[in-house]
Amino acid sequence: MSQLSTKHLLGIKDITETDIRLILETAANFKEVINRPIKKVPSLRDITIANIFFENSTRTRLSFELAEKRLSADVVNFSSANSSVKKGETLVDTVNNILAMKVDMVVMRHASPGAPHFLSRNISANIVNAGDGTHEHPTQALLDAFSMTEKLGDLTGKKIAIIGDILHSRVALSNIFCLQKLGAEVMVCGPITLLPKYISSLGVKVELDVRKALEWCDVANVLRIQLERQQIKYFPSLREYSLYYGINKKMLQALNKEIVIMHPGPINRGVELSSDAADSEHSIILNQVENGVAVRMAVLYLLAGVKG
């Protein structure tokens, strides 16, 4: 079996196209496993994994925990809300105390961009970044790419539009890196206040009109408005945002082609996506959730085979 070129998954920027394709191929095998009557394999039977979440999470945390249990790993869950972090303990001390209990791998979500990178320089265990602030969310990009590949085949030359709050989204950055490495064309679309100033330097097209973006793309990956990260108002109201950038089924039916609708969740129904669009035949949102388990199984399995 081929190996990954790195012992950590810190971001898509840090891995190669070969790594990405290996993860997607391995995920396809694990997807077949999780659809069997007996969904468990003993691949990580002797591995202990700590899920360390300093931010709220539903889908990502459940998906990682399920992936770990499907691989027969021992799982330790840590939540900062009920921990010694509240008493002033540092990140490195917290993780070193967990590692002293003989943990082999750490899955971490943190509000500070670069926290997993910092940790990787200070501890010996494998680290998987489950989202670091507004920086990257590598496993989300991988499961998005896997879902697109299932639907469209090879992504070379395919047109992917990422629509919504690009400025505050870790999903957007990871998706851009991943899709470009797989040969896709990428466009970002949103209000100019929600587009980072540097965005065109990443080699993506920029569009301010959502209808033009939908006409251009094969896949629309729609992002939610991240109000919890916004310290100032970037647009007048959610109603106005929905009026100009919300996507509904009528808009999709007006296109002269079929496109795929994706969303990393949670969906703000009636804001970035109407219910009739989110639940339509165009949508593969629930496929993304299912594929998340298979992709995370692949990441954990492959990283367990890399010793630093």
- Which positions make up the binding site for carbamoyl phosphate? 59-60, 109, 137, 140, 265-266
Q: Give binding residues for L-aspartate as ranges.
A: 87, 170, 224
> Which residue, among 139, 147, 96, 150, has the nearest Cα to 302 in the 3D structure?
139
C-alpha dihedral sign at 82, 87, 88, 94? negative
Q: What residues contact residue 231 under an 8 Å CB cut-off, 6+ apart?
A: none
CB 192 within 8 A of CB 233: no
Q: What residues contact residue 39 under an 8 Å CB cut-off, 6+ apart?
A: 33, 70
Q: Is 117 exposed, middle or buried (0-12, 13-18, 19+ CB in 10 A)?
A: middle
CB 291 within 8 A of CB 145: no
| Strand ranges, E, within the chain | 48-53, 74-79, 105-110, 126-132, 159-163, 185-189, 205-207, 219-222, 260-262
The whole-angstrom separation of Cα 203 and Cα 181 is 12
Q: What DSSP state is assigned to residue 41?
A: -
CB 148 within 8 A of CB 295: no
Backbone angles phi, psi at 247, to 5 degrees: -110, 130
The whole-angstrom separation of Cα 75 and Cα 47 is 9
Q: Give binding residues as ranges.
A: 59-60, 87, 109, 137, 140, 170, 224, 265-266
